[in-house]
Structure 1
Amino acid sequence: MKTWKKKLEELKILHRIGRLNLILWVIFTIVAIGWVFCASFSTSKEIFSDKVLASGFHLNNYVRVMKTYNIAKYFMNSLIYTGFACVGVIVLIAPASYVLANYAFKGRNIIRSAYISTMGIPGIMLMIPLFMIISKLGLNKTPVAIILIYVCTSAPFTIFYLLSFFSTIPKSIQEAALIDGCSHIKAFWRTIFPLAQPGLITVTIFNFISLWNEYMWALVFVNTDRRRTLSLGLQAIVDGMKNSGDWAGLFAAVVIVFVPTFILYILLSEKIMSGITGGAVKG
């Protein structure tokens, strides 16, 4: 009896320590993000003197960044590239993942292993071959090139995630749709696809965050003033700090980069958690 009481006390202590660590991490994160947010409304002088917002809010930081550094254009570029890529990944990979998860055919395991194993290939190894292919197709420095690359690089993780999620959907649902006269394609899009919404939303958010902050592929394939992404634009602002010293503008640009993914996660956090737990246990 004493042994169980001792173990229970130890678990309570560990629980308190874990909760304390979590609270400290949350406080640190809120303070750090809050300081960056406040700095984006301050002046560079106030930032260096550690007196942020001493003279009030300066909305002109955001206006200056939009006009001087063309952040609005880069924002739209990133939104277009990332949006089309996320939609393209779902349209192409969702049916493939369902087939690989629920249909038995020769070579299925080899295909599944091949797709998932590509997650371990460093992107830098593919840089030169992809650049040569894109150049021969005449797509270099075009939106089509970066969207295709984003779709292809997001496919392995998307398949890895959706395989486990689609395996939880009962086959009887598709069988009922087939009995009602649907083809396999119609059965997927009309019955299975809507049921997989939590998993699809979750993997899309993960892909969106990854692609929104992507830097390497954009640097090689769309590094022009007209096609540049938001991450490249932010790096250009950082480089410009060497001459201008506009640190308030830099923090304003950082907030512009950070806010979309933050809002997206806050609004869809419940669907993300349901999507993760939904694919965790095979029913």
Structure 2
Amino acid sequence: MPYSGELEFALSLADESRRILRARYGSNLTVEWKGDNTPVTLADREVEEILRRRIAEKTPGYGVIGEEFGHEPGSADREWVIDPIDGTKAFIHKTPLFGTLIALLEKGEPVLGIIDLPILGERVYATKGGGAFHNGKPCRVSSISTVEDALLLDGSITTMEKLGYGPAWANLRRKARLHRGWGDCYGHFMVATGAAEVMADPVVEIWDVAPMGVILPEAGGCFTSIKGQPGIRERSGLSTNGFLHDTVLKALAG
């Protein structure tokens, strides 16, 4: 498998994060609110600090981009991207639909990605050219090709409305077989494993979606911004099974 050594190390990082978050889940952690009105807990910082330390020991020279401690440039053309808890609000409210995100970028493009859901005991990962795997077994997106048969997910209806996508997204939701607000990494996980067809994430940072840039294509799906821009730096994310990607983009474009 391509990047097998890097994947083995990244999976060990996910194991470490899972151990910590399972121990912290459900406890009364102090919540702080950052300048962008998003929450952070001791667990977020603890996980990122430990992962950064292990990365520095194992892959010296690699850069690191993390949600809690920013960008640490390296001397190589590779960077790790980590989000210790994607879905901190879910974590705080004792809802198990949060996860740890880990990605490896090579010359700015994701070549390895992991979504780990510690409380659910679920994990999807992929390497460029190596396929996607769900709990160690190959996984693929669904083959559903009509909105009427699809499960649509989003990170925030309110934010979709604020950004001007409200009427178009509401129309898609009405047509869909089912709509749910299972946001953050869990929604993208659902698409990658064939359990949902569309996940719209209206506002994101690179650490929120870096793994999706390799996981979705390797699972047979598609990942772009909500405007259809390729890459992981466009501040929004749209994961689909591929069959519905153009349909959703056209609908959201008006």
Give the TM-score normalised by structure 2: 0.27
Higher helix share: 1
Higher strand share: 2
Q: Larger Rg: 1 or 2?
A: 1
Give the TM-score normalised by structure 1: 0.25
